[in-house]
Amino acid sequence: MPHSTIESVLFDTSFLLNDSPDVDNIIKILRRDRVSCYISRTIQSEMDNLYYVGRISKQKYTKGLARCRKARASLLDGGRNFLKGSMTQECTVSMTQEHGTAPGDVHNDCSILTSSLYNYIDLILSEDFHFTSKHTDKVVDSVIDMTCERFDKLCGGDIMLLNKDGFLAAYKDGQVDLEVVEAMKQDVRKG
């Protein structure tokens, strides 16, 4: 069975704010296996905004932040440059085609994807089903294909997108079983 090594993980907002104790167990597993954990500026802003506008409670917000600290999640480099801008543009076009949504509806998703690709993240953990679907896998492939020729940094890059259940089923000792990952992908669109 083909496996892929996981050295770095980015937590999506939906993962950090999920009520399931599985999230805390996954963080323990990642710490035990010394997997580097990250959040992006977009995710930090999403959590802050959800709290400040009253869409999540102080308790949930505090729990999300505590999970970041427990995982020792670092903040990804948020600097903008031409490469990230080009990647985000390619992502937006592909995401609107794959998910059938307006460009404004995928801005944060593309920001998270491109920051992860740019920083060589191996895995994004998210509880947004459209984000972990077969369609978003196609978006990742498209962004890499469309930008690789212009930016060698991305050639051969890849990123996995899993929810907590997919992670728990496919991950063992720093490796992800790619057959399990593929079997669990759903055909879910954002729109």
Which residue has tokens 């994807």?
113
Chain centre to alpha carbon of residue 61: 19
One-letter amino acid identity for 26? I
Mean residue pLDDT across the chain? 84
- 1 has pLDDT over 60: no
| CA-wise closest residue to 72 among 33, 111, 42 | 33
| CA-wise closest residue to 190 among 111, 101, 86 | 101
3-state SS, residue 146: helix
3-state SS, residue 17: coil
Half-sphere exposure of 136 (CA within 13 A, CB side): 25
Residue 84's pLDDT band (cuts 50, 70, 90): low
Go through the domains of the chain in sequence order and give each one's CATH number.
Answer: 3-182 (3.40.50.1010)
Measured distance between the N- and C-terminal CA atoms of the chain, rounded to whole angstroms? 34
Contact 165, 150 (CB under 8 A): no
Contact 114, 124 (CB under 8 A): no
Q: What is the pLDDT of residues 18-56, one digit of tens each?
A: 999 999 999 999 999 999 999 999 899 999 999 999 999
Q: Is the dihedral of CA 146, 176, 129, 104 positive or negative?
A: negative
What pLDDT sits at residue 56?
96
What pLDDT sits at residue 109?
83
Q: What is the pLDDT of residues 115-149, one digit of tens each?
A: 888 888 999 999 986 666 677 777 777 777 777 77
**Of 85 and 153, which is predicted with more confidence?**
85
